Amino acid sequence: MKKTKLALSGLAAAISMTLSVQALAADTIKVGVLHSLSGTMAISETTLKDTMLMLIEEQNKKGGLLGKKLEPVVVDPASNWPLFAEKARELVEKEKVSAVFGCWTSVSRKSVLPVFEELNSILFYPVQYEGEESSKNVFYTGAAPNQQAVPAVDYLMNEIGVERWVLAGTDYVYPRTTNKILEAYLKAKGVKDSDIMINYTPFGHSDWQSIVSDIKKFGSTGKKTAVVSTINGDANVPFYKELGNQGLSAEDIPVVAFSVGEEELSGIDTKPLVGHLAAWNYFQSVEADVNEDFIESWKTYIKNDKRVTNDPMEAHYIGFNMWVKAVEKAGTTDPEAVQDALIGVTVPNLTGGYSAMMPNHHITKPVLIGEIQDDGQFQVVWQTSGTVAGDAWSDFLPGSKDIISDWRTPLSCGNYNVKTGKCSGQNF
> Using CB atoms within 10 A of its CB, is residue 251 exposed (0-12), middle (13-18) or buried (19+)?
exposed
Computed over its alpha carbons, how large is the radius of gyration of the chain?
Answer: 23
Lowest mean pLDDT among 25-34, 285-294, 347-356, 388-397: 25-34
Question: Using an 8 Å Cβ cutoff, are 243 and 343 in contact?
Answer: no
307 belongs to a structural domain: yes
Residues 127-153, mean pLDDT to the nearest whole number: 96
Considering 350, 365, 380, which residue would you say is the last residue of a domain? 365
Say if residue 123 is in the same domain as residue 252.
no
Q: Is the pLDDT of residue 428 over 70?
A: no
122 belongs to a structural domain: yes
Identify which of 235, 213, 115, 231 has the alpha carbon closest to the alpha carbon of residue 168.
231
Starting at the earlier edge strand, list the strands of the sheet with 255-257: 196-201, 164-170, 225-230, 255-257, 277-280, 368-372, 378-383
Q: ∠ at Cα 293 (292, 299), nearest 5°?
A: 90
304 belongs to a structural domain: yes
268 belongs to a structural domain: yes
Q: Are strands 123-125 and 138-140 parallel, antiparallel or unpaired?
A: parallel
Q: Which pLDDT band, with edges at 50, 70 and 90, does 426 fall under?
A: very low
Say if residue 84 is in the same domain as residue 222.
no
Crossing angle for the helix pair 106-119 and 173-188, to the nearest 10 degrees: 110
Say if residue 53 is in the same domain as residue 103.
yes
Q: Which pLDDT band, with edges at 50, 70 and 90, does 237 fall under?
A: confident
Question: Using an 8 Å Cβ cutoff, are 296 and 359 in contact?
Answer: no
Say if residue 90 is in the same domain as residue 160.
no
Say if residue 108 is in the same domain as residue 239.
no
Say if residue 110 is in the same domain as residue 161.
no
Q: Distances from the Cα of 37 to the Cαs of 15, 45, 58, 109, 200, in angstroms?
A: 37, 7, 22, 16, 25
pTM: 0.89
425 belongs to a structural domain: no
Domain extent, residue 137, equals 11-143+291-365
Per-residue pLDDT, 17: 45
- Give the tens place of pLDDT for each residue, 166-181: 999 999 999 999 999 9
Say if residue 265 is in the same domain as residue 381.
yes
Question: Using an 8 Å Cβ cutoff, are 146 and 365 in contact?
Answer: no
**Displacement of CA 402 from its chain's centroid (Å):** 26
5 belongs to a structural domain: no
Q: Is the pLDDT of residue 271 over 50?
A: yes
298 belongs to a structural domain: yes
Looking at every residue in the chain, the average pLDDT score rounds to: 92
The 3-state DSSP class for residue 54 equals: helix
CA–CA dist 230, 256 (Å, integer) = 9
Q: Give the alpha-carbon dihedral of 48, 49, 51, 52, to 10 degrees.
A: 120
Which CATH number characterizes residue 248's domain?
3.40.50.2300
The 3-state DSSP class for residue 145 equals: helix
> Using CB atoms within 10 A of its CB, is residue 154 exposed (0-12), middle (13-18) or buried (19+)?
middle
Q: Is the pLDDT of residue 20 over 50?
A: no
Say if residue 30 is in the same domain as residue 110.
yes
Separate counts of helices (H) and strands (E) for the chain: 12, 19
The DSSP code for 120 is T
413 belongs to a structural domain: no
CA–CA dist 423, 414 (Å, integer) = 8
Say if residue 128 is in the same domain as residue 67.
yes
Q: Which pLDDT band, with edges at 50, 70 and 90, does 321 fall under?
A: very high
Count CB atoms within 10 A of the CB of residue 17: 10
- When divided into structural domains, the chain yields a total of 2
Question: Using an 8 Å Cβ cutoff, are 227 and 240 in contact?
Answer: no
Sign of CA dihedral 324, 329, 333, 335: negative
Say if residue 79 is in the same domain as residue 38.
yes
- Give the tens place of pLDDT for each residue, 28-53: 999 999 999 999 899 889 999 999 99
- Give the tens place of pLDDT for each residue, 180-235: 999 999 999 999 999 999 999 999 999 999 999 999 999 999 999 999 999 988 88
Q: Which pLDDT band, with edges at 50, 70 and 90, does 425 fall under?
A: low
Question: Using an 8 Å Cβ cutoff, are 228 and 196 in contact?
Answer: no
Residues of the chain above pLDDT 70, percent: 93
Say if residue 272 is in the same domain as residue 336.
no
Q: Are strands 123-125 and 99-102 parallel, antiparallel or unpaired?
A: parallel
Question: Using an 8 Å Cβ cutoff, are 189 and 154 in contact?
Answer: no
Identify which of 51, 91, 98, 132 has the alpha carbon closest to the alpha carbon of residue 342.
98
Say if residue 111 is in the same domain as residue 196.
no
